[in-house]
Amino acid sequence: MVAPEDPGGNVPPTLEAVLHDGTAIPVAVQGAGRSVLLPVRIEPYPPSEAETMRRWGADPELGPNLVAGLCRSHRVISADYERHRMAHPAPDTLTPANVAADLLAIADAAGADTFAYYGYSWLALAGLQLAVRTDRLWALAMGGFPPLDGPYQSMLSVTRSAHRMASEAAAQRQPADVGVDGAGIDVSEIEPGDWDAFPVQTSEAQTRQFVTLYEALQAFDDAQVTLPPRLARLAFAGSADRIDYGPAWDNVQVMIGESLAAHERELTAAGWDVRVLPGLDHIGAMNSSIVLPLLQGWLRNV
């Protein structure tokens, strides 16, 4: 379903995009101006789940706050791509090319010929994969994942461990309590920042789709990426964004903030606006109180 651009912002509130695997995802459009695509959830979380997220340090109002803030000056296209992929896994086909195709399908459903994109963590790397495959982006904002020296190998190790745990649990017909980027959380019994104890209910198919994604990214050399010279680009991460997994995860370290800081000069020379946020970890740097003013100010200056 395709809705035309409407300078008055009179677009039906909910559209639908058909993704690469034939599944359909709801797409919402709010505001007027240049289009900005956000792969975020705008539906409220159940109260108990929202409270659990707050205990962990996460922001259950992230999506609604970003949309409400940015739609004052932009035409905001939102679709909860992460939640869709957990509900409709693509274990064999979640490749970088197909992720980019899915994001383009969402933009097409909203009638956006050109658009800006913001994503965090694995949805940030999805934005980079989108940017190398299309000239339709006018701005790219990546949070919680460095555009240079990204942790592709370490994340493959993490997702393989998650898949192994999920497969073992499935063999025993038990739900798997595993931690993998791209899934929901239940942190009532653990301390904020304790990624090694991060419990997530995931299936074999849910975890395998991320193995498929990171396996395909092993051949990707982000040092050789060439982006359109006029593409505005922002990369940010917390200075304390480093995730240490324990023995069950083969003691993998996922370096994000340090990697971004180490390449700040190189990225700036390549046209990136780089922000290393003091003292913030992976969860803290994605809070709407941090991200919204950052995006508003940056988009205003683009």
Q: What averages of pLDDT result for each successive group of 10 residues across the chain (302 residues)?
A: 40 81 98 98 95 92 98 98 98 98 98 98 98 98 98 97 89 56 44 53 92 98 95 98 91 97 98 98 97 98 92
Structure tokens that stand for 3 in this block:
């809705």
pLDDT at 171: 81
Rounded Cα distance between 273 and 275, Å, is: 7
Which has the closest alpha carbon to 286: 237, 242, 235, 233?
237
Mean pLDDT of the chain: 89
Structure tokens that stand for 159 in this block:
């997702």
Structure tokens that stand for 7 in this block:
């300078």
Count of all residues that appear for the chain in the document: 302
Tell me which fold the domain 14-150+221-301 belongs to: Rossmann fold (3.40.50)
How many Cα atoms are found within 13 Å in the side-chain-facing hemisphere of 17?
26
How is the chain split into domains, by residue range? Answer: 14-150+221-301
